[in-house]
């Protein structure tokens, strides 16, 4: 047991984190079994032991940043058979198959609209905000929505497909401000019903449908925060669906979290508790899936903006938790704050990115830009 403690303490000290130290990003250990659990389970052991109250940290986001910036994860050797089985399962099994596509909708997005309503901005946008010129979450999300509309060259009368429509925030904004018709699809029943109610009276349609079942022709396609649920075995299929549904002169905007290097598995703790079957793509995986189908007109990285977005979500969650505690217990609270704050640390450390790609079928004559907007009320 002493060897386990010494090993973990030494690893943490290598990235300037102290066990039972006094700084906000130092950890306070309450259970001596913490050390062996982390060494055997790596990220799963770290996350589950936090959920169980075995350790605390005043600044989880900075704790994560310290670890990732110092690349502590590369120093821990995995000896847990369960983790190795998880990696092998991801390699041989299509965890994001059509049959399994609705799992994340039921287990994450159907957690409860009450939770997300108290955590997100007033438009219920569950993706990275664009903080250029913004000083609050609501403005950052409006900035992002308008940026997407401008990048797609939206104008009145256009027909838009949204793959992964969430609670209808983009559809409502685009319909109200750019006069477009939006067809949104999602794998979450609660999201679909919320979007239908929120967008009443607008030219919108929302369906519970897998992207592989999409047909028809659209002037523009947008996908915000959905590609992370597609999986590397299906990236090419996803791009083929987008191509067949896009008008020859249309634009497709893909907004996704990204990682710096390819992977065929996801973080075990995140997979188990937050996003089952999720997978973050790399630049090589995205470009390979689009090769021969699209011209990449623009590739924009504003991953640094996910840090303040996640911190704002956590602030809202903590501030409003008293109104949720009858439904969500203390272990859920610790799980959710761990998810939000550790994710903030991954973006702060630049381990994760946020990309917006604009793609066309054959390339735009004269090149691409998005400076001129066609808002109904400029």
Annotated catalytic residue: which of 57, 128, 199, 343?
343
Same structural domain for residues 217 and 130? yes
Mean pLDDT of 306-333: 96
Contact indicator for 67, 14 with CB cutoff of 8 Å:
no
- Is 60 exceeded by the pLDDT of residue 79? no
Mean pLDDT of 190-206: 97
Summarize pLDDT for 235-257 with one digit per residue, the tens. Answer: 999 999 999 999 999 999 999 99
- Banded model confidence at residue 93, pLDDT cuts 50, 70, 90: low
- Is 50 exceeded by the pLDDT of residue 342? yes
Instruction: Calculate the alpha carbon distances from 368 to 9, 32, 151, 292 in Å.
Output: 52, 58, 9, 19
Summarize pLDDT for 255-303 with one digit per residue, the tens. Answer: 999 999 998 888 899 999 998 888 999 999 999 999 999 999 999 999 9
360: Cβ–Cβ under 8 A, 6 or more apart, which residues? 250, 251, 252, 294, 295, 297, 368
- Banded model confidence at residue 125, pLDDT cuts 50, 70, 90: very high
What pLDDT score does 159 carry? 98
Same structural domain for residues 289 and 175? yes
Same structural domain for residues 230 and 350? yes
Between 371 and 210, the more confident residue is 210
What pLDDT score does 195 carry? 97
State which residues form the domain around 196: 101-360
Count of domains for the chain: 2
Same structural domain for residues 106 and 75? no
Summarize pLDDT for 2-12 with one digit per residue, the tens. Answer: 688 999 999 99
Where is the domain boundary, 19, 47, 79?
A: 79
Residue 352 in tokens: 């994760």
For residue 338, being part of any structural domain is answered with yes
343 has catalytic annotation: yes
Nearest Cα neighbor of 296 from 255, 258, 250, 252 is 252
Contact indicator for 169, 141 with CB cutoff of 8 Å:
yes
- Percentage of the chain beyond pLDDT 90 is 81
For residue 59, being part of any structural domain is answered with yes
Contact indicator for 171, 204 with CB cutoff of 8 Å:
yes
Same structural domain for residues 273 and 200? yes
Same structural domain for residues 227 and 344? yes
């Amino acid at each position: 047991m002493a060897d386990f403690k010494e090993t973990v303490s030494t690893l943490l000290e290598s990235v300037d984190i102290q066990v039972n130290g006094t700084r906000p990003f130092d950890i306070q250990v309450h259970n001596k079994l913490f050390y062996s659990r982390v060494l055997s389970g790596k990220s799963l052991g770290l996350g589950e032991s936090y959920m169980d109250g075995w350790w605390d940290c005043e600044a989880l986001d900075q704790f994560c940043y310290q670890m990732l910036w110092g690349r502590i994860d590369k120093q821990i050797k995995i000896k847990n058979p369960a983790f190795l089985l998880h990696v092998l399962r991801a390699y041989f099994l299509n965890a994001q198959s059509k049959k399994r596509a609705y799992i994340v909708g039921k287990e994450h997005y159907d957690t409860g609209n009450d939770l997300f309503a108290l955590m997100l901005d007033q438009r219920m946008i569950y993706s990275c905000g664009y903080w250029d010129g913004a000083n609050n979450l609501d403005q950052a999300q409006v900035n992002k929505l308008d940026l997407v509309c401008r990048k797609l060259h939206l104008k009145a009368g256009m027909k838009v497909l949204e793959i992964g429509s969430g609670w209808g925030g983009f559809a409502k904004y685009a319909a109200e401000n750019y006069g477009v018709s939006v067809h949104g699809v999602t794998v979450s029943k609660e999201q679909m019903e919320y979007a239908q109610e929120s967008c009443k009276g607008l030219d919108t349609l929302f369906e519970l449908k897998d992207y592989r079942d999409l047909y028809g022709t659209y002037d523009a396609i947008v996908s915000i925060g959905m590609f992370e649920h597609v999986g590397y075995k299906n990236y090419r299929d996803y791009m083929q669906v987008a191509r067949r549904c896009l008008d020859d002169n249309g634009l497709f905007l893909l907004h996704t979290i990204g990682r710096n290097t390819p992977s065929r598995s996801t973080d075990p703790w995140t997979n188990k508790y937050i996003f089952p079957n999720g997978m973050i793509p790399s630049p090589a995986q995205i470009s390979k899936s689009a090769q021969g189908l699209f011209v990449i007109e623009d590739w924009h990285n504003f991953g640094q903006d996910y840090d303040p977005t996640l911190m704002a979500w956590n602030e809202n969650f903590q501030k409003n938790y008293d109104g949720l505690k009858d439904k969500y217990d203390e272990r859920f609270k610790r799980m959710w704050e761990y998810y939000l704050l550790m994710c903030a640390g991954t973006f702060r450390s630049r381990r994760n990115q946020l990309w917006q790609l604009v793609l066309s079928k054959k390339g735009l004559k004269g090149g691409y830009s998005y400076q001129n907007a066609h808002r109904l009320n400029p």
